[in-house]
Amino acid sequence: MVWLGAVRAPSIAFLVAAGCIATSACGGGGGHIKNLPLQWQGVEAPPRASGSVGRALSVAPLAFGLRDLRESPAAVGRYADDGFVVQTTDNVGQYCTDRIGAILVGAGAHLEPGAPTTLEIELLDYYVVEGGSFEGTVRMRTTLRRGADAVWTKTYAGASKRWGRTHNPENFNEALSNSLAEATQQLLRDEEFAKTLGEPPPTGPMLQPGSAPRRPGSSGG
């Protein structure tokens, strides 16, 4: 599980990796992409929360963590014609944690490790298939926990289809970025998520069915 320990400046995801300066290293010259530095590209507008989700996010601190459950953590795509697998040396789990964390903060969330309510995300798919186009897919399972108890869970899938030059790293990153943005947008507009997040955690012992609360000074006998 990768936890967002501190809010990071969103601009961190826009830094261009030094290894991508030479197009041969990234495959920008039309050859096979040996390593894809992950970059946030091509998203026209950041995901926005609905009014109810925004209000729920702003009410109380929220802990946030992401776990990469994909079978091959380095694989982020493949070519449909020959099956070549595009990989990255970047930490996909940390990258997605930073990106989603920045989006949550932008939507009004107060992310604090150790908060009583936790949003856990499990990354199930994160890849692009390049054929006649660049088709991205991101799938993530989200769970809200209060303490150790899961109180809500749902899976979201984001997709993106881009056109562009063959074996181009920018097209891969645009498809991945827009797919992740779409999946996160679905979360930020989910009324069930807003309702569950906005429910206050229990503050005392649960009453047994048929019982009544005791009045101050009552012995109960």
Tokens 């990255």 locate to 88
Residue 23 confidence (pLDDT): 39
Residue 203 confidence (pLDDT): 55
Residue 151 confidence (pLDDT): 97
Question: What is the residue-level pLDDT of the chain in tens, covering all 221 positions?
Answer: 877 654 443 433 333 333 343 333 454 446 899 999 999 999 999 999 999 999 999 998 999 999 999 999 999 999 999 999 999 999 999 999 999 999 999 999 999 999 999 999 999 999 999 998 999 999 999 999 999 999 999 999 999 998 888 889 999 999 999 999 999 999 999 999 999 999 765 554 444 445 444 444 444 44
Q: How far apart are CA 53 and CA 104, in angstroms?
A: 10
Sorted by sequence, the CB contacts under 8 Å of residue 193 that are 6+ apart come out as 53, 56, 142, 144, 152, 154, 187
Residue 166 confidence (pLDDT): 86
**Burial tier of 193 (Cβ tally within 10 Å: 0-12, 13-18, 19+):** buried
Residue 206 confidence (pLDDT): 44
Residue 112 confidence (pLDDT): 96
Residue 39 confidence (pLDDT): 97
Residue 7 confidence (pLDDT): 43
Residue 24 confidence (pLDDT): 38
User: What torsion do the CA atoms of 16, 17, 23, 28 make, to the nearest 10 degrees?
Assistant: -70
Residue 1 confidence (pLDDT): 82
Bridge-based pairing state of the strands 117-130 and 63-68 = parallel
Q: How far apart are CA 27 and CA 167, in angstroms?
A: 7
Q: Which DSSP symbol is given to 204?
A: S
Residue 126 confidence (pLDDT): 98
Residue 202 confidence (pLDDT): 58
